[in-house]
Amino acid sequence: MSRFAPQIAPRLKAALAILVLMALVPVAAHAIGDPFLSVIANRMLVFAIAALSLDLILGYGAMVSFGHAAYLGFGAYAVALGARWGVTDLLAQILLGMVFSAAFALVTGAISLRTRGVYFIMITLAFAQMAYFFFVSQGSLGGDDGVALQGRSTLLGLSLDGDVTLYYVTLGALALVYAGLYRLTGSRFGRVLKGTRENSLRMQAMGYRPFPYQLVAYVIAGCLCSVAGVLLANLTEYVSPAYMGWHRSGEMIVMLVFGGIGTLTGAMAGALVAVGLEEVLAAFSEHWRLGFGLALVLVVLFSPEGLTGLAKRLGIGGKHG
Amino acid sequence: MNRTKLTAALMLSAAMAPAAHAETLKIGILTTTSGPPAVLGEHARDGALLAAEQLGMVGGMETEIIVVDAEGKPDVAAQKARELVERDGVQFVIGPIFSNVMGAIAGPVTESAFLLSPNAGPSVFAGENCHPNLFGVAYQNDQMPTVLAKHMNDTGVADAFILAPNYQAGKDSLNGFKSVFEGTVTSELYVPLGQLDYQAELAQIAALQPSAVYAFLPGGMGVNFVKQYDQAGLKGIPLLTAFTVDETTLPAEQDAALGMLSGVNWSPSLDVPASKEFVAAFETKYDYVPALYAAGGYDSMMLIDSAVKAVGNVTDMDALRSALEAADFSSVRGEFSFSSNHFPVQNFYLAEAVKREDGKYATQIVETVYEDYADAYVDQCKM
Amino acid sequence: MFNLFLLQLLNGAQFGILLFLVAAGLTLVFGIMDFINLAHGVLYMVGAYLMATFAGMTGNYWLGLMLALPATLIFGLVLEFLVFRRLYDRSHLDQVLATFGLILMLSEGVRILWGSAPLNVEMPELLSGSVPLAGPLKYPVYRIAVIAAGLASAVGLWALINHTRAGMLLRAGASNRPMVAALGVDISRLFMLVFAGGAMLAGFAGAIVAPILSVDPGMGESILILTFVVIVIGGVGSIRGAFLAAILVGVVDTVGRTFGPIWLRMVMDPSAAAQTGRMLAPMLVYLLMAAVLFYSPTGLFGRRGAK
């Protein structure tokens, strides 16, 4: 392997391996006669996008947002509202979701970034709860019951009704988001962001005001997460405020920390494993939360860097940084 | 336990059956059975599984039952519903409990299977979004509050204080109440979903001294409200509720709820032979008193049994639909039939919370409020 | 109307005291040990369940309470020994992940042991009934007892932290742990005691609200977020802040949802007022938190520059 691509960082290699493996899922599922596997895998991909977006602010910017699920909701409601207004193209709906998210992230981010640490955690939670209750009180959008979509979106005229089509569109989106974030975090912008994480004072002494960088990262993360929301709505053909509850925000942090923060690859792996684990355990017992909770505790106690750390210890995959 | 496959047919009969009849009846049970609000889903699941156990071979066929947890998350439920229908090839799904899950699974299930709801019956599915493959076996949500409103009319209650949580089902409930109640509504309150403390509302009730209070506060909210209502010394003002005092919440409300009235379509005390047998068998097997969700689950399974028996196969969807519509089974609710929108025509009762002789708490029917009552959305359903 | 307003103020304050009882333990663990414990709500729930079990077994509220308290304490110590002590030196994120895992595990464990249906705790004869206030308004005696218990805990904690040797060590340990350890104080034992004390306070809160609130597997989660709101508004680690913030949250929530629509009606037409009121009511405490943090980014009594 390394003979062909000696300059590729191990974590990038791991990410590429994950993407290639995931690309084979529908083929493999078809081969073993269980095409439904790709629907389950699709859900993993959606949450991988969400976890990646969270990694930008949480992993690279040290901004622990406990309200990231709000953007999942904005994306989902962009599909519902778009369909209602006659906008069924996926790209247009993504744009709409990003507009909602950017507006919300800009305002709440500007306020939230005045605070630090646990206060930041809680204020982001507060804003997400407000968004949640806003949609719960919207009777025309089904309120708490949510709203069923009449069908999936189209992509430049291509229907996404086929599960495999939607799967590869999601996979493509995941690859794009990963590539974009990989570039972004490697750029000067990313280095300033990381520098602020490591030592905010030094960065300020060097003439960087962290606030604009953090705010921009916060807005970008929100926008990218709304892409996951748009795809989730398409996958389930249903939109509900339950997508943006605080529990979901907590689960997204869990996926990310589970995989290991600040590596992007870890975010992706964490989401895939966490969603998969939930799926497997739930099929096994109604008391699956017991096993899932135990898995989380054990990973923290015995593998400080999440799955990435575990992989490193076992000599496979990524390197921190 | 969750994906338990109960192959109900005896090995012997399977071995003797000709190979050509290898067709299997597959039923999915999709309710929320994990996390905090699991208790309602457990009732419905246990009711349905009890029926299957009693029947042995549901519909006289080899039966496979797949129990799945909706996790209370609409997106998870939607995926699991598709999994049941597309991967496992079930012909029937019994579920769900919560109306937000209903919205998410109705589409995927009804595409190629029948959805029988043991509880949730939002108005859209009884009206404009009714579907040939969707059957609301239990009731339509808005019917319960009208039972209490009619009872208040009948007993000459001049003014009422009404409250519900601030979400769609809460609004539907209060609107349903107001559509029938002839007296004046002195105050209409919406409390935030999941509110813990009701002192503020109780103070308003105490200050206004209405002739009666109507509340729709499901689950833990109802437990809190009922206990605090009792503690505030307000029991002099009759509290009439829907989905607030039943066998899922009574274990916690206990004496605080005694004497309180609720609207029901079934109660363990119902004097119908099928019901008496069901309650006895249920309590023996599970050691708790079944609530109306359990009855909904039990009836759903019995309905499937009757339809499959009548048709003799599980592939002729049109014949199965007609057989389901006929509702030719002995419901624990006694007289039972479907309206043209696939929602029931049945009696509704006023039930009182009592402490039974064995020390357990249950609801007991005091009077019949509506006979053969159909919901108000039949005309909006075009199928 | 004015009477009713005063009564709602009282109700709000009383709800606030309920919140304070849960928040007190959390803010201590949080402030002194710098440890984010999402599972604090679970300890509160376990306290209530143990109370329900022991009160049911003995048939006596007071005996139940006396057994439930040490039982929660032991439960807290076991958790501390098995899990928490391994997390003190870890990042906040690790703590969030592990304690989130504990929430899932313990809530499910409670469901397996006690079932999903809510349980009841009988109110003691001595404290049942209500006292007349003004006119038809009555107030439950048990609520008055809860207020008294909350106030007593607040005073006790304040005295413990500010006027005892243990409290002094705690304050010192929180600001400079290696220094205190170098002085020969067994800091890890100190932390264990703080944690156990916090667990018992949460369990105490759960036990005494059990007769008022539903004892069900969701009770820990429903109060957890409100508790966090309280300690963040008050400033992490500050008992005084937690107390005032709890009262503030209780009053804003209670008075806001009862009088909010009335006040709104003065500035807009009734149906719009009702609509807006309904939308705003559940957001009120979050708006309050956002406003406080906007004005003072470390809460009302938080240390400036604290992380």
| The pLDDT of residue A318 is above 50 | no
The answer to whether position B2 is within a domain reads no
Residues of B in contact with A283 (CB under 8 A): 2-3
Is there a contact between C225 and A125 if contact means CB atoms under 8 Å apart? Answer: yes
- Over residues A139-166, the pLDDT tens digits come to 788 888 888 898 899 998 899 999 999 9
- Band of residue B327 on the pLDDT scale cut at 50, 70, 90: very high
Residues of A in contact with B192 (CB under 8 A): 133
* Mean model confidence pLDDT for chain A: 89
CATH class of A10-313: mainly alpha
| The pLDDT of residue C122 is above 60 | yes
- Band of residue B74 on the pLDDT scale cut at 50, 70, 90: confident
The answer to whether position C50 is within a domain reads yes
Is there a contact between B33 and A286 if contact means CB atoms under 8 Å apart? Answer: yes
| The pLDDT of residue A302 is above 90 | no
The answer to whether position C208 is within a domain reads yes
The minimal CB distance from B207 to the residues C4, C108, C223 is found for C4
B104 & B42 share domain: yes
Tokens coding C10? 């009282």
- Band of residue C175 on the pLDDT scale cut at 50, 70, 90: confident
User: How far apart are the C-alpha atoms of B323 and B338, rounded to whole Å?
Assistant: 11
Is there a contact between A304 and C106 if contact means CB atoms under 8 Å apart? Answer: no
B97 & B232 share domain: no
Residues of B in contact with C107 (CB under 8 A): 35-36
**Burial group, residue A208, by CB count within 10 angstroms (0-12, 13-18, 19+):** middle
User: How far apart are the C-alpha atoms of B133 and B135, rounded to whole Å?
Assistant: 7
Share of chain B above pLDDT 90, in %: 67
Is there a contact between C130 and B232 if contact means CB atoms under 8 Å apart? Answer: yes
Q: Domain limits of chain A?
A: 10-313
| The pLDDT of residue A195 is above 80 | yes
- Over residues A46-62, the pLDDT tens digits come to 999 999 999 999 999 98
Residue C143 contacts B where some CB pair is shorter than 8 Å? yes
Nearest 5°: the CA angle A169, A173, A174 is 115
Structural domain total, chain B? 2
| The pLDDT of residue C171 is above 80 | no
Mean pLDDT, range C14-20, rounded to an integer = 89
Separation in Å, CA of C293 to nearest CA in chain A: 7
Which range of residues forms the domain containing residue B284?
11-139+271-338
The minimal CB distance from B87 to the residues A36, A282, A288 is found for A36
- Band of residue C187 on the pLDDT scale cut at 50, 70, 90: confident
Residue B269, φ and ψ in degrees, nearest 5? -85, -5
Chain A residue whose CA is closest to C96: A254
Is there a contact between C279 and A114 if contact means CB atoms under 8 Å apart? Answer: no
Residue B254 contacts C where some CB pair is shorter than 8 Å? yes
| The pLDDT of residue B307 is above 80 | yes
User: How far apart are the C-alpha atoms of B247 and B257, rounded to whole Å?
Assistant: 11
CATH number of the domain to which B65 belongs: 3.40.50.2300
The minimal CB distance from C120 to the residues B191, B203, B253 is found for B253
| The pLDDT of residue A7 is above 70 | no
- Amino acid A3: pLDDT: 45
- Band of residue A246 on the pLDDT scale cut at 50, 70, 90: confident
The answer to whether position C131 is within a domain reads yes
User: How far apart are the C-alpha atoms of C231 and C238, rounded to whole Å?
Assistant: 8
**Which position has the token pair 């006694």?**
B334
Residue that wins the pLDDT comparison between B263 and C167: B263
Using beta carbons and an 8 Å cutoff, which residues of A are at the interface with B? 34-36, 39-40, 43, 133, 136-137, 139, 142-148, 232, 235-238, 240, 242-243, 282-289
Does residue B310 contact residue B326 with C-beta atoms inside 8 Å? Answer: yes
The answer to whether position C264 is within a domain reads no
User: How far apart are the C-alpha atoms of B66 and B86, rounded to whole Å?
Assistant: 13
Does residue C280 contact residue A123 with C-beta atoms inside 8 Å? Answer: no
- Amino acid A216: pLDDT: 96
Residues of B in contact with C222 (CB under 8 A): 194, 196, 220
- Band of residue B9 on the pLDDT scale cut at 50, 70, 90: very low
Separation in Å, CA of C237 to nearest CA in chain A: 12
- Amino acid B158: pLDDT: 94
Structural domain total, chain C? 1
Cβ-Cβ contacts under 8 Å between A and B: the total is: 101
Residues of A in contact with C94 (CB under 8 A): 257, 300, 304
The answer to whether position C199 is within a domain reads yes
Q: Which residues pair with B160 in a beta bridge?
A: B185, B212
- Band of residue C136 on the pLDDT scale cut at 50, 70, 90: low
- Amino acid C5: pLDDT: 84
The answer to whether position B6 is within a domain reads no
Lowest-confidence region among A12-16, B65-69, B324-328, C119-123: C119-123
With left for phi above 0 and alpha for psi between -120 and 50, is residue A54 left, alpha or beta? alpha
Share of chain B above pLDDT 70, in %: 94
- Over residues B361-377, the pLDDT tens digits come to 999 999 999 999 998 89
User: How far apart are the C-alpha atoms of A73 and A129, rounded to whole Å?
Assistant: 11
User: How far apart are the C-alpha atoms of C71 and B153, rounded to whole Å?
Assistant: 52
Chain C residue whose CA is closest to B221: C214
Residue that wins the pLDDT comparison between A77 and A36: A77
* Mean model confidence pLDDT for chain B: 89
Interface test with A, best of B1, B75, B84 (most A CBs within 10 A): B75
B180 & B209 share domain: yes
- Amino acid A310: pLDDT: 77
Which range of residues forms the domain containing residue C84?
10-216
The minimal CB distance from C216 to the residues B206, B220, B254 is found for B220
The answer to whether position C192 is within a domain reads yes
Whole-model pTM: value is: 0.88
B352 & B225 share domain: yes
Is there a contact between C4 and B35 if contact means CB atoms under 8 Å apart? Answer: no
- Amino acid C278: pLDDT: 78
The answer to whether position B358 is within a domain reads yes
How many CB atoms are located within 10 Å of the residue C240 CB?
Answer: 17
% helix / strand / coil in chain B, to the nearest 5? Answer: 40, 20, 35
